[in-house]
Copies of this chain bind each other. A is one copy, B any other.
Amino acid sequence: MSLIKIVRTRMELRSVVSEWRAAGTAVALTPTMGALHEGHLSLVRLARSLADRSVVSLFVNPTQFGPNEDFEAYPRNELQDAELLEGAGCDLLYAPAAEEIYPPGFSTSIEVSGVSKPMEGAKRPTHFAGVATIVSKLLIQCQADFATFGEKDYQQLQLIRRLVRDLDIPTTVVGGPIVRDEDGLALSSRNAYLTENERSVAPALYRTLRSAAEALGQGATVSAVESRSIHELRTAGFDVVDYFDVRNPEDLQPLGPGRITGPARIIAAAQIGRTRLLDNVAV
């Protein structure tokens, strides 16, 4: 039985947070869609290292799912999530109903051009408008000093950094490193969809990213590395490689086709069966 405090409305959220802040207590928010794993919990611990109080939001946001995606099937277990959060040092769980977030007549949408267009944006055309809108709402509702997001969704993280700067939201965005299973697979709520056989294929994504980073570091060209990596993933058992891109780590513009001359991020998405996996590494 969890003892963590749970609030359901933005009024309650604001009331608790503004009391904390009025007392000079810094607050850090970690937005989640629940189905928590060690990756989320590491972001809660990061939040607690930045601020005296940790708030976690739990909201499976319908507007960031496409029409044929897994909104209905997305794993939900609030009680278990609340227990995990308590163990990680979270002080307040904000778990609003959909009507609290999207009241009747809701009609506002936030677009971030540039960084939102390639990769996930090309694959999921309405996804990032959904993300930008809900994240803005949560940050404005909570008025936290800090917010932590995982580097696992690297494009999302860069989009949120841009958004927060552009809208002058007074919250400092902090990215947390990817947490991995022992065999290298990045933790994700969607890993639960993998069959045993698919799960054995999955670590090839990180393995391929690491060898790609190494090859780029040794002077291989972007075009050679990208095409070899896609081939490696297909050979390892991935059914579709949506993208495997070497990009500028800030604005996500493509690098190459030649050698890289500065920092880069390799970002990939690939499917095994019906499950899409995302991962990325720094170069």
* Residues in A lying within 8 Å of B, measured CB to CB: 10, 14, 103, 105-115, 132, 136-137, 140-141, 143, 162-163, 165-170, 251
- 10 tightest A-B CB contacts, nearest first: A108-B166, A107-B114, A107-B113, A141-B168, A109-B111, A140-B168, A108-B112, A110-B110, A106-B166, A137-B168
Which chain B positions have C-beta within 8 A of A163? 108
In this complex, the member of A103, A107, A143, A170 whose beta carbon has the largest number of chain B beta carbons within 10 angstroms is A107
Which chain B positions have C-beta within 8 A of A143? 170
Which chain B positions have C-beta within 8 A of A167? 108, 136-137, 140
In this complex, the member of A10, A111, A169 whose beta carbon has the largest number of chain B beta carbons within 10 angstroms is A111
**In the complex the two chains form, is A110's CB within 8 Å of B108's CB?**
yes
A167, B103: Cα distance in complex, Å: 11
- Residue A10 contacts which of B110, B113, B141, B168 (CB distance < 8 angstroms)? B168
**In the complex the two chains form, is B107's CB within 8 Å of A115's CB?**
yes
Known A-B contacts: A108-B113, A137-B166. Give 15 more (CB < 8 A). Answer: A103-B165, A105-B162, A107-B112, A107-B113, A107-B114, A108-B112, A108-B163, A108-B166, A108-B167, A109-B110, A109-B111, A109-B112, A140-B168, A140-B170, A143-B170
> How near does chain B come to A118, taking the closest CB pair, in angstroms?
13
Which chain B positions have C-beta within 8 A of A251? 105
Which residue of B is nearest A106, CB measured?
B166
Q: List 5 A-B contacts (CB under 8 A).
A: A14-B170, A103-B165, A108-B113, A108-B162, A137-B167
